Amino acid sequence: MTNPPKAVIAIHGGAGTISRSSQGSAMQEAAYHQALNGILLAGQQLLSEGGSALDAVSLAVDLLEECPRFNAGYGAVFTHEATHELDAAIMDGATLRAGAVACVSRIRRPLRAARAVMERSEHVLLVGTGAEAFAEDCGLEMVDPTFFSTEVRRAQLAHALQADRMMMDHDGASLTFRTKDLMPAPLDESRKLGTVGAVALDVHGNLAAATSTGGMTNKRCGRVGDTPLIGAGTYADNRTAAISCTGTGEMFIRGVVAYDICARMAYGGQSLDVAAQEVVMKSLAAIGGRGGLIALDALGRSSCPFNTEGMYRGHARVGEVVHTAIFLED
């Protein structure tokens, strides 16, 4: 009889441009490591008690959404109209069930709404006010849209409006929002791809993936990125892999990135790492896509390629030490 798989969880908090030399970033770097570490420990604990991959990714993304360092839930970026529009998705690799919400601004924890769509509706994707009404009917916590606003994100919007472009969250050469009270983050905040995500394999051999985001600073209202689109930013299938992406959403949609990796494994016999590396470094880069992803296969092997200077990430195997990283060399 073969041993049961060793349960494992991996998470990300977005990718972007390095600013390691910036004054104060060592402290900020430590704070990011600490935030990732705490969330991984919670996921590891759940998995060690026999919890499901679905519950592990839900818990991790819940915690990431509530952490203002990351562009999801509280601390989400602003649209061009200085509003917030959040996207989230979840997928169960055992059944291929999936749920997602897009362009919501009143649901405190968008990932919980995505899971409710999967488990309590006949649909896969609900958007805008319809998604909000559904979440309210399900008894989820609703908030005023200003709940998500932070000073850092408002300054990022001012910067993006001035530059007249859409910006990714951890990604910005000029950091106008760096006040003396706001020390620079390791990855430049206005050019960071700050989506959050989690993938997990449980002791029963099931995979799951979840992703949540505020999108991109200065995006047009009504814009939907890759995060809530099953196969683009989020995908899980027990036969291949669980994947959660972060990056320039439009290119991830055009490349159907998450599904492309699974398809390469299923039809081309590629390993997870070969498939993930080729997609991120070649196919995605070829169309100007920037960002990265975290992935796990059914045996718990992980891959986390990114074509930016850094990506907040980490993984925790049951019974092993938690590992967190920001830069390539970490």
Residues that bind ligand ASP in the complex, under the rule CB under 6 A: 14, 71, 168-169, 193-195, 213, 215-216, 225-227, 233, 246-247, 249, 291
3-state helix, strand, coil in the chain (%, to 5): 35, 25, 40
Of 100, 101, 99, which is closest to residue 128 (Cα–Cα)?
Answer: 101
Catalytic residue ranges: 195
Least spacing, CB of residue 56 vs ligand ASP, in Å: 21
Looking at the Cβ atoms of 216 and 241, the one nearer to ligand ASP is 216
Q: Which two tokens stand for residue 156?
A: 């990022």
Least spacing, CB of residue 223 vs ligand ASP, in Å: 8
Q: Are strands 125-127 and 86-92 parallel, antiparallel or unpaired?
A: unpaired
Residue nearest to ligand ASP (CB): 249
Least spacing, CB of residue 319 vs ligand ASP, in Å: 31
Distance CA 254, CA 284 (A): 9
Of 142, 141, 181, 150, which is closest to residue 78 (Cα–Cα)?
Answer: 150
Least spacing, CB of residue 49 vs ligand ASP, in Å: 31
Least spacing, CB of residue 156 vs ligand ASP, in Å: 12
Contact (CB, 8 A) for 261 and 275: yes
Residues near 88 by beta carbon (within 8 Å), at least 6 away in sequence: 61, 72, 100, 101, 110, 111, 113, 114, 210, 211, 212, 213, 227, 228
Least spacing, CB of residue 131 vs ligand ASP, in Å: 16
Can you tell me which residue has the tokens 């420990």?
A: 41
Distance CA 100, CA 58 (A): 13
Looking at the Cβ atoms of 43 and 194, the one nearer to ligand ASP is 194
Looking at the Cβ atoms of 17 and 213, the one nearer to ligand ASP is 213
- E strands in the chain: 8-16, 86-92, 97-104, 125-127, 196-201, 207-213, 234-236, 241-247, 291-297, 302-303, 310-317, 323-327
